[in-house]
Each structure stands twice: as C-alpha cells, then as structure tokens.
C-alpha cells in the first residue's frame, strides 16, 4: 500500500495508481494497516532529536553556504576545497529540508499522509542527496590526499 513505500524504499507505481488515488471518493483509514497506533516516550524523544538535528543542521549549513558565497564574491578564483565544502552544505541542506522533518513526523505518527507521489519523491530525494553527500566527501578526501602525498616535498637522506 502507499503507506509502506517510505518504509521499504519502493518507488514502483503506475500513472493509473496516481489517477485512482487522486480521483477516489472513498476514504479509508490508514489505521486499518496498523493494529494499534500507540506512541511511546522513545518515539517522542526520537522526534525531538530529529527536530533538533533539523534546526541546527539547517542553521549551520546555511551559514556555510553564506561563507562560501562570501568567499566567491571576495575572490572569484577560489580553490577546489571551497567548492567541495559548498557542495556538501547544499547536499546536506537538501537532505535536511526534505527528509528530516518528515522523519520527525513519521516517528510519532507512522502513517504516510502526503500522497503516493510525494512518498516516491521522498525515497528518491533521500537517496539522491545521501549519494551526493557521499560522493562530495569522497572528492574532498581525494583532494586532501593529493595535497598531502603528491604535493609534499620529497626529502632525501644523503
């Protein structure tokens, strides 16, 4: 069902499924998919942690983006590390702005309430931004490795 696509990462659906979902006149409760919808203290603690991560992450990544933009305005010929850090901040912002607050809501209320298309977009966007972040971190590592190992002076013992 549509409420399970965010759990298992499924993005399979046809245009007919979206048409039926948007034009259906019957209202079904998603509580029928779950035997009992109870939230525990740990669910609320998890939701609180997600919200803290959301607020702090968005504020800090916006600050990083502002510094990167300031460096580009100050000196248009910035180094590769500035570009990599800016790219990482944008990837993290994309992840935070689309998935973290949804995870906070889902930890308290485990039913998907945003429709099938947004469920599929959630799954794709989560994977896209996470992979972008991983790739950027890899490029930063390669750049740092080259600076340290390739460009360091070779001292020979005489």
pLDDT at residue 121, rounded to an integer: 92
**Which pairs with CB-CB distance under 8 Å and at least 24 residues apart come from 125-130?**
125/94, 125/98, 125/99, 126/95, 126/98, 126/99, 127/9, 128/94, 129/91, 129/92, 129/94, 129/95, 129/98, 129/99, 130/95
Pick the CATH number of 38-150 from 1.20.1070.10, 3.90.180.10, 3.40.190.10, 3.40.50.1220: 1.20.1070.10
> Could you tell me which of 119, 155, 157 has the C-alpha nearest to residue 18?
119
Q: What are the structural domain ranges in the chain?
A: 38-150
Predicted pLDDT of residue 1:
46
User: What integer pLDDT is reported at residue 94 of this predicted model?
Assistant: 93
- Residue 134's pLDDT is 94
Instruction: Write down the pLDDT at residue 40.
Output: 86
Distances (CA, A) of 147 to 135, 142, 144, 151, 155: 18, 9, 5, 5, 16
Whole-prediction pTM: 0.67
How does pLDDT run along the chain (158 residues), one tens digit per residue?
Answer: 445 555 555 555 443 444 444 444 444 444 444 445 577 888 899 999 999 999 999 999 999 999 999 999 988 777 888 899 999 999 999 999 989 999 999 999 888 888 999 999 999 999 999 999 999 999 998 888 876 666 666 655 55
H or E element at residue 81: helix 80-95
């Amino acid at each position: 069902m549509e409420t399970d696509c965010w759990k298992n990462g499924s993005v399979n659906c046809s245009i007919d499924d979206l048409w039926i979902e948007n034009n259906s006149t019957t209202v079904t409760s998603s509580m029928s998919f779950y035997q009992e919808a109870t939230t525990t203290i740990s669910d609320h603690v998890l939701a609180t942690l997600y919200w803290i991560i959301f607020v702090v992450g968005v504020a800090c990544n916006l600050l990083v983006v502002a510094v990167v933009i300031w460096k580009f305005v100050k000196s248009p010929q910035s180094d590769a590390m500035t570009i990599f850090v800016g790219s990482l901040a944008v990837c993290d912002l994309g992840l935070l702005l689309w998935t973290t607050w949804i995870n906070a809501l889902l930890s308290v209320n485990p039913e998907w309430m945003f429709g099938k298309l947004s469920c599929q977009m959630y799954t794709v966007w989560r994977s896209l931004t996470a992979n972008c972040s991983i790739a950027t971190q890899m490029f930063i590592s390669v750049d740092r490795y080259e600076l340290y190992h390739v460009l360091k002076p070779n001292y020979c013992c005489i």
